[in-house]
Structure formats: C-alpha cells, structure tokens
Amino acid sequence: MTSLPACVITVSDRSFSGEREDRGGPIAVGLLREAGWHCPDAEVIADGETSVADALRRAVARGVRLIVTTGGTGVGPRDETPEGTRRVITREVPGIAEELRRSGLSDTPLSVLSRGLAGVVDPAGTLVVNLPGSTRAVASGVPVVLTVARHVVDQVEGGDHS
Ligand SMILES: Nc1ncnc2c1ncn2[C@@H]1O[C@H](COP(=O)(O)OP(=O)(O)OP(=O)(O)O)[C@@H](O)[C@H]1O
Ligand SMILES: Nc1nc2c(c(=O)[nH]1)N[C@H]1C(S)=C(S)[C@@H](COP(=O)(O)O)O[C@H]1N2
C-alpha cells in the first residue's frame, strides 16, 4: 500500500515553553510510522484556538492526509484544540471521537472529559483527529484512529462526488 503523509501536532503550553518534554507526540509518530504512514517528528505548538487552526491549515496546505493532534481537549481555560479544529474541518466525523471517548474508559472514567473532535477537510481530503494529551490516551487512541484512517482518506479522495 502507498505510504501517505501524516503528521502529529502536540498542543501544550508546557511543552512549547520547554517546561515539560513532549512524550505524547513521539509515541503517536512511532505508531503512525509503524502503520506505514509517512510522518515527520511531532510539531509542538502553544495552546489556543488560533494556534491550532493555523497549524492545521499549514499541514493541510503541505498535502498531509492524516493529522493527529494531542492535548488541549479538556475543560481547562487554555484547552481550545476543538475550537481551533472546528475552524478548519469542513465535515465532522463524530463516530471517531465517540469511539475514542468510549474506548478511553478502559484507561480512566475521565475519558469523557475530552471534547476532542474528528473530521475531514474538503477538498484536501485530510482527516483530522484530536487526542487528549496524556501518553496513555495517545497510546490507546492512535490504534483507534488507524483502524479507520486509511478508509476515510481513500473515500474522501476517490468517493462519488456527484
Ligand atoms: N505532550 C505531553 N507529553 C506528556 N504528557 C503530557 C503531554 N500533554 C499532557 N500531558 C499530561 O497529560 C495530563 C493532562 O494534561 P493537561 O491537558 O492537563 O495538560 P497540562 O499538563 O496542563 O499541559 P499544558 O498546560 O501544557 O497543555 C497531565 O498529566 C500531563 O502531564
Ligand atoms: N484514553 C484516555 N482518554 C483520556 C485520558 C486518558 O488518560 N486516557 N485522560 C482524560 C483527562 S484526565 C482529560 S482532562 C481529558 C482532556 O485531556 P487534554 O486536555 O490533555 O486533551 O482527556 C481525558 N481522556
């Protein structure tokens, strides 16, 4: 199967400022590469709606077909990853986010606190998925994304647009 371009964006004020090493991003990158996606090292950005929307738009403009974000999905005052994502996706795919929250319950009952979104960006044909920031959420969430990502990307690209 052809290797398609993916990327990981870590959304974290603490990692962006250097206060805490980004551990979630590299885990996601490793899993995407293992699954055959062409994925550069994670980009670390500050929390915030504009920061997230700008990073997503840059990735879409580069032709990236799968974007996994990690962090900033909760209810803290700086957690605005879903708001930034909402500005860029053109169609939501709620079942992916629902499944992440459902399967995340085996990590923690706090899984339901993630407001993460998933959706596609037309006409670029990019799938964007928000994961929570914890390393556990990344390790359990990326496999859920991988179960459907290739199918989504193939459908968006090759689907019947009539
Ligand atoms: N990139 C990351 N790498 C490792 N652990 C992370 C990362 N982002 C978040 N975490 C951890 O996930 C948990 C929940 O994160 P939370 O969203 O509260 O982020 P945070 O610690 O407030 O960081 P920030 O303010 O930078 O977003 C915390 O235990 C935090 O340490
Ligand atoms: N699978 C899974 N989902 C999870 C978690 C986790 O450890 N595993 N952490 C939860 C916690 S504690 C929070 S506050 C929310 C939001 O996290 P974020 O703000 O780092 O995105 O994700 C939740 N979802």
List of domains in the chain: 6-156 (3.40.980.10)
* pLDDT in the model for residue 157: 75
**47-87: pLDDT as tens digits:** 999 999 999 999 999 999 999 999 999 999 999 999 999 99
- Cα(71) to centroid of ligand 1, in Å? 7
**Coarse DSSP helix, strand, coil percentages of the chain, rounded to the nearest 5 percent:** 45, 15, 35
Query: Residue 76: what residue type?
Result: G
What residues contact 155, with CB distance under 8 A and at least 6 apart?
none
- Pocket of ligand 2 from Cβ distances under 6 Å: 71-74, 79, 104, 107-108, 110-111, 113-114, 132-134, 136-137, 140-141
101-122, pLDDT tens digit by residue?
999 999 999 999 999 999 999 9
pLDDT tens-digit readout, 120-159:
999 999 999 999 999 999 999 999 999 999 999 999 975 4
CA of 161 to the centre of ligand 2 (A): 36
What Å distances lie between residue 114 and 11, 79, 155, CA to CA? 14, 10, 27
Q: How many Cβ atoms are within 10 Å of 71's Cβ, its own excluded?
A: 31
Position of tokens 């993916």?
6
Complex confidence, ipTM: 0.93
